[in-house]
Structure 1
Amino acid sequence: MAHLLHVEMLAVVRELLGKFLKPDSIRLSAKEILKTDVRCRDLHLMDKRLCVGQYCYSMISKAQSEKKVWVSTVYNSLREEYMKAAEFLLKNLRLNNSTITSLSALSPSLMQDDCLHSVYYLG
């Protein structure tokens, strides 16, 4: 199962980044993902496009329509926590580990190449 590790780590990171970053700023390769500045506001989605839980969505939508002042605080806190989580994963997951990457060769369909369509991408 070790040959699946690199692919799964990339999928987790891409899924998290997709919750608060614009789709075109989420790169396919591990090297490019590691270069992503998750704090760069130009890469972030607008507040109303940030991913929130299904139970919170209706409450936040209602509060926005009622122009509640706390909505921006919720979005700022949510964005900050997404950034912290992304920074943690990018720092601690071994996305650039050559041994783990090389193990992908055990299953050629899982090899990471920007041209392959087998790579999971949040678009």
Structure 2
Amino acid sequence: MDITDDEGAGFGVFDMPGDRYSLEENLQGFLQAYSIVSGGEILTGTDVRKTMLDGHPALDARLSVTEGERSVGFIRLIADDTHLVQAVTFCPEVKEKALNEMHERLLASIRIP
């Protein structure tokens, strides 16, 4: 899948104790920040699942904007002793199947030392 102007993939590593806030609190912070940056669009997180990655706690969620131009995405948050890792993909709802494949490739590439 080639990324176009209405799609996105992002990866962030934040220097902070990964357990400073719960992964659920970090997800809520991401959803709220999106609303602020987007000018008020409401982003929701559903299908929230806790998992482990390389022995570190992780949280996966499906993202969606259901008003206006419907969009979907996926996020994985991973905590370790000194970092919070965030992997996000996002696109228009009609491209969700291709986005799921891209998100799975992104997740497969993550290695936490």
Instruction: State the TM-score, normalizing by the size of structure 2.
Output: 0.29
User: Which is greater in Rg?
Assistant: 1
Considering fraction of residues, name the structure with more helix: 1
Considering fraction of residues, name the structure with more strand: 2
Instruction: State the TM-score, normalizing by the size of structure 1.
Output: 0.27
Query: RCO greater where, 1 or 2, for CA within 8 Å and sep 6 or more?
Result: 1
